Amino acid sequence: MSSAAKDSVSLTNISAKEKNRLTASIKSTIARQLWRNDGYFEVHNMNDAEIKKAIEVIKQ
């Protein structure tokens, strides 16, 4: 986020929820560059409640 501010992108009007969503999107995109789609989906779904619940059910 700090690099966006350095590039004169104003983040003052962005809500905390949107900042979290933007950060997650950036992390997912970087993961895709490093580890292809497998990395993207692993990072993208890391905090998804439905995915966490599905993993819980599968482990039982």
What is the CA 20 to chain-centroid distance, rounded?
Answer: 8
**Residue 54 domain flag:** yes
Q: Tokens 């580890």 appear where?
A: 35
> Could you read off the pLDDT tens digit of each residue along the chain, which spans 60 residues?
566 666 777 778 889 999 999 999 999 999 999 999 999 999 999 989 999 999 999 999
Q: Which two tokens stand for residue 45?
A: 């779904």
For the residues of 18-53, what is the DSSP string, one character each?
HHHHHHHHHHHHHHHHHHHHHHHHHHHTTT-HHHHH
Give the domain extent around 19. 14-59
pTM of the model: 0.69
Residue 50 lies in a domain: yes
9 lies in a domain? Answer: no
Asked, for residue 4, whether it belongs to a domain, the answer is no
Query: Is residue 19 included in any domain, yes or no?
Result: yes
Total residue count of the chain as it appears in this document: 60
Tally of structural domains, the chain: 1
